[in-house]
């Protein structure tokens, strides 16, 4: 998919086309966040589509930093659209899971084609989001036992939805590759 | 909700500073007196922005689950009497921590926020952010079209059908896959269009000067002794696009 004439646009890594595609993945996360806000009120459900699009972004642009760029754009977009009810903490909420997806991609470049690996990475990355609240609660003096239990409950909910959202990624990546729409995923 | 109040007129930097201070105080509050004072100050700040109690509910309803969980855990571990206050205090601290951020977002115009962001975010990144926001209506339309077409083909994509996890296959393969294909094609077209205008070719931000283009076109037409098609456009033409 990468054209040799294309110039590197961002972070010495992404071409403009790749960066725009990642931007569109961020658009989809914003769209699904707004959509879900209208219909569902289940805690942690936001990670369903967030993890799906993070992993899809990593699969479509198999370069380190792809998911993080999506996370960064979602954070800034949420702030601008007034969707970040938690204010600047929205950066931690979105970038922390994205960093983990990129870390997984750096260690196992082909993980997006394995369903088990996707579910694992999706669940673990989504659960890390619970740490964003844990830091604040620890600072505000919450007792360790309560803090631990609450973190386990919220992280489990995030992990459940994150894992479910990641289930479909391998089949979609395979179909996109089969039709020559994305790179075959050599990784970098 | 009105769009004019003393808080609306405050600069974004001041609101950020005030919000940071209030959030920091929320983290440090321990006694009932401190908490009560902070609740009062935060609510005064919130309602000074002419926001309504309904707005307050919309901003804090996401923390209700969290509050129930925290109070429940405290009561479970310490007993109903001893656990109620610390659980309530923790929940209140968390809500108070986030309210100033909500005020900032509700009272700062997107344009002001963008101007502020432009100072700290590199232009290449801010271009991506604005493009992704700009394409929200476009992809909403696409989503709607794909959904209608796929539902006509029998895909189970109605909101009540998507509650059933057995229908999630249709969601991913009939809706999100075509949407992703559309995103790939759109990214290709937009990048070609931008690169044709040498966007991103230089380190500094560049502008596509439409007025200059119009001027060059007019000169070319004059050389050929013909009337330029946009002769009524002055040198200011297209400046709004820059």
Pairwise CA distance, residues B76 & B155, whole Å: 46
Q: Give pLDDT, residue A6.
A: 67
Give A72-102 pLDDT, tens digit per residue: 999 888 877 766 666 667 788 889 999 999 9
Closest CA to A65 of A74, A75, A54, A76: A54
Contact B175, A168 (CB under 8 A): no
Q: Whole-prediction pTM value?
A: 0.75
Q: Which of B101, B131, B168 sits opposite A86 (nearest CB)?
A: B101
Q: Give pLDDT, residue B214.
A: 65
Pairwise CA distance, residues B83 & B19, whole Å: 29
Closest CA to A32 of B164, A24, A156: A24
Residues of chain B contacting residue A18, judged by C-beta atoms under 8 Å apart = 187
**Domain extents in chain B:** 6-115, 121-196, 210-241
Q: Which residues numbered 63-82 in B keep a CB inside 8 Å of some CB on A? A: 65-66, 69-70, 73-74, 77
Coil vs helix vs strand at A9: strand
Q: Which residues numbered 111-150 in A keep a CB inside 8 Å of some CB on B? A: 133, 136-137, 139-143, 145-146, 149-150
Pairwise CA distance, residues B53 & B47, whole Å: 8
Contact B73, A150 (CB under 8 A): yes
Domains of chain A and CATH, by start: 8-178 (1.10.1760)
Residues of chain A contacting residue B195, judged by C-beta atoms under 8 Å apart = 6-7, 16
Give A135-184 pLDDT, tens digit per residue: 778 877 788 888 888 889 889 999 999 999 999 899 999 999 988 888 77
Contact criterion met (CB < 8 Å) for A23 and B132? yes
Task: Report which DSSP code applies to A110.
Answer: T
Identify the H or E element spanning A8.
strand A8-10
Pairwise CA distance, residues B167 & A176, whole Å: 21
Q: Give pLDDT, residue B18.
A: 87
**List of chain B residues with pLDDT < 50:** 227-242
Task: Report which DSSP code applies to B197.
Answer: T
Closest CA to A68 of A31, A104, A120: A104
Rg (CA), chain A: 17
Residues of chain A contacting residue B181, judged by C-beta atoms under 8 Å apart = 176, 181
Q: Give pLDDT, residue A186.
A: 56
């Amino acid at each position: 998919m990468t054209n040799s004439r294309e110039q590197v646009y961002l972070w010495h890594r992404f071409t403009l086309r790749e960066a725009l595609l990642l931007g569109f993945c961020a658009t989809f996360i914003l769209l699904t966040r707004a959509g879900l806000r209208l219909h569902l009120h289940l805690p942690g459900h936001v990670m369903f589509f967030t993890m799906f699009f993070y992993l899809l972004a990593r699969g479509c642009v198999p370069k380190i930093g792809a998911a993080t760029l999506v996370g960064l754009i979602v954070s800034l977009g949420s702030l601008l659209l007034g969707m970040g009810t938690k204010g600047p903490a929205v950066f931690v909420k979105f970038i922390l899971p994205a960093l983990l997806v990129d870390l997984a991609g750096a260690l196992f470049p082909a993980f997006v084609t394995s369903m088990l690996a996707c579910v694992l990475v999706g669940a673990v990355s989504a659960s890390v989001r619970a740490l964003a609240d844990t830091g604040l609660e620890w600072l505000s003096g919450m007792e360790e036992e309560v803090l631990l239990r609450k973190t386990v409950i919220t992280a489990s909910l995030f992990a459940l939805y994150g894992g479910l959202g990641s289930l479909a990624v391998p089949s979609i990546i395979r179909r996109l590759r089969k039709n020559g729409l994305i790179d075959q995923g050599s990784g970098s | 909700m009105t769009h004019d109040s003393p808080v609306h007129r405050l600069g974004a930097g001041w609101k950020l500073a005030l919000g940071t201070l209030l959030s920091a105080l929320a983290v440090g509050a321990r006694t009932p007196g401190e908490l009560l004072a902070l609740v009062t100050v935060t609510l005064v700040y919130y309602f000074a922005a002419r926001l309504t109690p309904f707005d307050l509910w919309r901003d804090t309803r996401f923390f209700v689950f969290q509050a129930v969980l925290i109070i429940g855990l405290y009561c479970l571990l310490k007993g109903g009497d001893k656990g109620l206050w610390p659980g309530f205090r923790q929940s209140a601290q968390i809500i108070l921590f986030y309210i100033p951020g909500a005020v900032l977002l509700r009272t700062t115009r997107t344009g002001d926020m963008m101007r502020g962001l432009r100072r700290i975010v590199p232009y290449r990144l801010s271009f991506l952010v604005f493009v992704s926001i700009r394409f929200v209506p476009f992809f909403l339309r696409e989503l709607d079209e794909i959904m209608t077409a796929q539902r006509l083909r029998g895909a189970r994509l109605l909101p009540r059908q998507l509650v059933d996890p057995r229908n999630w296959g249709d969601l991913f393969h009939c809706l999100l896959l075509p949407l992703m294909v559309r995103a790939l094609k759109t990214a290709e077209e937009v990048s070609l269009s931008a690169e044709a205008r040498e966007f991103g070719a230089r380190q500094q931000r560049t502008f596509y000067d439409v007025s200059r283009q119009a001027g060059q076109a007019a000169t070319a037409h004059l050389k050929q002794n013909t009337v330029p098609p946009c002769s009524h456009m002055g040198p200011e033409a297209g400046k709004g696009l820059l």
